[in-house]
Amino acid sequence: MVGARASRLAGLVPIGLVVLLGLVLTLVLGERHHHRILTLVFVWATMGLAWNIISGYAGQTSFGHQAFFGIGAYVTVLLVVGVRLTPWLGLIAGTLAAVVAAVLIGFPTFRLAGIYFALATLAYPLILRIVMDFLGYQEVAIPMVRDRPTLFMQFKDPRAYDVLALAALGGTLLLSHWIEGSRLGYALRALKENEAAAEAAGVDTFRAKMTAYMLSAAPAAVIGAIYAHAILFVVTPDAVFGTLVIVQTLVVCLVGGVGSKWGPVLGAAIMVPMSEILDATVGDRLPGIQGVVYGSALVLMILFAPEGIYWRLRAFRPSRAVDTPTESAPAAIMAGAAGRSPGAPGTALLDVRGVSKAFLGLHALEDVSFTVHAREILGVIGPNGAGKTTLFNVLNGFLSPDAGEVRYRDEPITGLRPNAICRRGVARTFQVVRTFPQLTVLENVLVGAFVHEPALAAARARALAALAAVGLRSRVDALPGGLTTLDLRLMELARALATGPDLILLDEPLAGLSRDGVDAMMALVRRVRDAGVSVVIIEHTMYAVVQLVDRLVVLDHGRRVAEGAPNDVVRDPAVIEAYLGNKWLGRVAGLPT
């Protein structure tokens, strides 16, 4: 995990070392075909890094990244052939074209779920390949330039190509490094691990995905252009839009490690020389040996080490010493976003009016109305299937109601995306805790802290304060996998608090807790309310709810059947009937006090 500024700069050192190593190899190697292999290592490492931005960090597995590679190559080369534009400028045009393509492709495609996304990305390079073939660009040869060849990226010395590709690699490493430590990086990793939780924590997932896609298209285009000039010399659709491009990208990333900037570098360093040497030595007798090697690498890695070599090695490293910054923020709960004061008790905060929602004919919610006031704890109870979680999903934006509206601070929020609702001040936890399993506890909360603190340092301080408020200060560097149920729920609550809400929706926060855990959680919820944040809580643990809440709303079969003070509500015959069935009251003589 990245710490203070010093640690971020320290992270640049390995990048510098790798570039240095690359330069050394460039100078040391003699034969021409050795330089070709070196250039290819840099090329595929860069392409792998580019792919990693959208598919590794953001988890959106793309099978069409070669589209950008090919666009970069073709635009640059066609500009050379057509208008004799120097490829140094043509690169820029190619990159722009690729970024525009990323926007055009990403816009409709990110709406698609999982497998459909992968299949859709597959289609674009195929179409481009056919179109290029058809337009007559089956073979575009880069013309040899006699005077000022360097202006046209033509070098006699193969080392120059090495340096060129190495520069692209270095730049992409820097880009990856920057992303990893930025707000975008955390947003991407969060949405990869759990998109719903990320949305609820205020991450604009669509925008994050689009930004990542654009950032991943650019280096692909650049390296595609370099590849065309350094290796191909004659550009064909198959060479730049073909399957082999995406295969090499995938192999390099899978072998090395997806989701880390060192993975593709490692993977390229291992796989490219191996396959090139094999091809050079036995390629004549065994045509297709490269494909067999790549295919076997994919199969073996996915079976035995799907996370890749880098992560495997990382697991052996002793964990870094915890760097504990001085605690600046007191262990107080942040209430409200900057400038907004929590309303006086009694003012309406959230207004639910006539909300109805049906799924396939089943009425999950029917004309539900109630109000949540400032500084209050409202409980929502009801038998299984009453619609409670559906209600929460409508309130925080995962679902749109069929009828009715929801108003927050007297502004309609119906139909807004969850991250927008979170930004306005409505936070949420989930029935089954939704963590980002590969991020530390602090990083989990950090994702929420970014909502109101774009800068890393301030967000970090805010996250630490939230964790201190719930009592998890000592576990900040742990992974969620090692936490108890109570700690996990506390972490989720801390993430919600870090978004600076006025209202928190808690979905069954007491489920699975021991008696002590229930008491601890209840005390915490009361403190949250006292600090000025309203709480709406769904719960089944009745004895706890009755003690905790100020008011109760009871749902049954999607309808609101009771509302009022807890002690009145649990004695309400309608409520007893909802829970135990209409025959119960008739059976039991007298109601216990």
Partner 1 sequence: MSVGDLLQYLVTGLLVGGVYALMSIGLGLIFGVMRVVNFAQGDFMMLGMYLTYFLATGYGVDPLLGAVVIIPPFFLLGLGVHRALLVRVTGGGDPQRLMDAQLILTLGLSLIITNATTMLLTPMPRGIKTAYATQAFVVGPVLLNQARSYAFLMALLLAGAVYLFLTRTDLGKALRAAADEPEAAGYQGIDVRAMHGLAFGIGIALVAAAGGLLATYHPIEPTVAVNFIVLMFVAVVVGGLGSIPGAFAGGLMIGLVQSLTLLVLPFQLQNVGVFIAFLLVLYLRPQGLFGQRLRAV
Partner 2 sequence: MLKLVDLDVAYGGLHALTGVSLEVAEGEFVTIVGPNGAGKTTLMKAIGGGVPLAAGRVEYRDRDIGGLPSHARAHLGIAHVPEGRKVFASLNVLENLEMGSYRAEAKRRRAGGLETVFALFPILRERRQQLAGSLSGGEQQMLALGRGIMAQPDLLLLDEPSQGLGPRIVEGIFEAIAAIRRSRPITILLVEQRVVEALELCDRGYVLETGRVALSGDRETLLADPRVQHAYLGT
Q: What is the rounded distance in angstroms from the CA atom of residue 359 to the CA atom of residue 390?
A: 10
Question: CB neighbours of 318 closer than 8 A, spacing ≥ 6?
Answer: none
Environment class of residue 20 by beta-carbon count within 10 Å: exposed (0-12), middle (13-18) or buried (19+)? exposed
What does the radius of gyration of the chain's CA atoms come to, in whole angstroms?
29
Site string for partner 2, 374-393 (x = CB under 8 A): ---------xxx--------
Our finding on whether 130 is near partner 1 (CB under 8 A) is: yes
Smaller CB distance to partner 1: residue 115 or 144? Answer: 115
138, 340, 519, 572 from 545: Cα distances, Å: 72, 29, 11, 16
Q: Which does 587 bind (CB under 5 to 8 A by kind): partner 1, partner 2, none?
A: partner 2
Token representation of residue 250: 């995938």
Q: How far is the CB of 125 from partner 1 (least distance, A)?
A: 10
Report the residue from 297, 422, 476, 483 that binds partner 1 according to the rule CB under 8 A.
297
Smaller CB distance to partner 1: residue 243 or 356? Answer: 243
Q: Which does 488 bind (CB under 5 to 8 A by kind): partner 1, partner 2, none?
A: partner 2
Q: What are the DSSP E strand ranges found in 293-429?
A: 348-359, 362-373, 377-381, 403-408, 411-412, 426-428
Q: How far is the CB of 395 from partner 2 (least distance, A)?
A: 20
Our finding on whether 438 is near partner 2 (CB under 8 A) is: no
Stretch that binds partner 1, among 130-138, 198-206, 347-355, 583-591 (CB under 8 A): 130-138
Q: How far is the CB of 547 from partner 2 (least distance, A)?
A: 9
User: Considering only residues 514-553, where is the footprint of partner 2 by CB under 8 A?
Assistant: 540-546
- Helices (H) and strands (E) counted in the chain, each on its own, are 25, 12
User: Considering only residues 59-88, where is the footprint of partner 1 by CB under 8 A?
Assistant: 61
**313-331: string of b/e by CB count within 10 Å (b at 16+)?**
eeeeeeeeeeeeeeeeeee
**Residues binding partner 2: what is the number (CB under 8 A)?**
33
Our finding on whether 432 is near partner 2 (CB under 8 A) is: yes
Q: Which does 337 bind (CB under 5 to 8 A by kind): partner 2, partner 1, none?
A: none
Our finding on whether 359 is near partner 2 (CB under 8 A) is: no
Report the residue from 292, 403, 455, 542 that binds partner 1 according to the rule CB under 8 A.
292
Our finding on whether 134 is near partner 1 (CB under 8 A) is: yes
Stretch that binds partner 2, among 123-131, 192-200, 213-221, 504-512 (CB under 8 A): 504-512
Q: Which does 254 bind (CB under 5 to 8 A by kind): partner 1, partner 2, none?
A: partner 1
Our finding on whether 584 is near partner 1 (CB under 8 A) is: no
Phi, psi of 426 (to 5 degrees): -110, 115
Single out the residue of 250, 255, 271 nearest to residue 312, CA to CA: 255
Q: Which does 482 bind (CB under 5 to 8 A by kind): partner 1, partner 2, none?
A: none
**Hey, which residues does 404 pair with through a beta bridge?**
none
> Which DSSP symbol is given to 151?
G
Report the residue from 488, 498, 524, 549 that binds partner 2 according to the rule CB under 8 A.
488
| Cα angle 226-228-232, degrees, rounded to a multiple of 5 | 130
Smaller CB distance to partner 2: residue 45 or 483? Answer: 483
The torsion of the CA quartet 178, 181, 183, 188, rounded to 10 degrees, works out to 90
Question: CB neighbours of 538 closer than 8 A, spacing ≥ 6?
Answer: 379, 380, 381, 388, 389, 392, 431, 505, 506, 507, 508
Q: What is the rounded distance in angstroms from the CA atom of residue 467 to the CA atom of residue 515?
A: 22
Q: How far is the CB of 589 from partner 2 (least distance, A)?
A: 9
Environment class of residue 85 by beta-carbon count within 10 Å: exposed (0-12), middle (13-18) or buried (19+)? middle
Smaller CB distance to partner 2: residue 16 or 573? Answer: 573
Smaller CB distance to partner 2: residue 333 or 364? Answer: 364
Stretch that binds partner 1, among 28-36, 117-125, 417-425, 536-544 (CB under 8 A): 117-125
User: Considering only residues 97-116, where is the footprint of partner 1 by CB under 8 A?
Assistant: 108-109, 111-116
Single out the residue of 166, 176, 167 nearest to residue 49, CA to CA: 176
Our finding on whether 557 is near partner 2 (CB under 8 A) is: yes
Q: What is the rounded distance in angstroms from the CA atom of residue 366 to the CA atom of residue 369?
A: 9
Q: What is the rounded distance in angstroms from the CA atom of residue 380 to the CA atom of residue 552?
A: 6
Single out the residue of 167, 170, 155, 168 nearest to residue 32, CA to CA: 155
**Hey, which residues does 577 pair with through a beta bridge?**
none
Smaller CB distance to partner 2: residue 163 or 546? Answer: 546
Report the residue from 233, 347, 571, 573 that binds partner 2 according to the rule CB under 8 A.
571
Smaller CB distance to partner 2: residue 88 or 584? Answer: 584
User: Are residues 366 and 558 in contact, defined by beta-carbon separation less than 8 angstroms?
Assistant: yes
Stretch that binds partner 2, among 190-198, 438-446, 447-455, 582-590 (CB under 8 A): 582-590
Q: How far is the CB of 292 from partner 1 (least distance, A)?
A: 5
**Residue type for 83, please?**
V
**397-413: string of b/e by CB count within 10 Å (b at 16+)?**
bbbebeebebbbbeeeb
Q: Which does 292 bind (CB under 5 to 8 A by kind): partner 2, partner 1, none?
A: partner 1
Smaller CB distance to partner 1: residue 4 or 131? Answer: 131
Question: Using CB under 8 A as the criterion, which residues of the chain lie in contact with partner 2 when the complex forms?
Answer: 362, 383-385, 432-433, 485, 488, 508, 511-512, 540-546, 557, 570-571, 575-576, 579-584, 587-588, 592-593
Question: Using CB under 8 A as the criterion, which residues of the chain lie in contact with partner 1 when the complex forms?
Answer: 61, 108-109, 111-116, 118-120, 122-123, 126-127, 130-131, 133-134, 243, 247, 250, 254, 286-292, 294-299, 302-303, 306
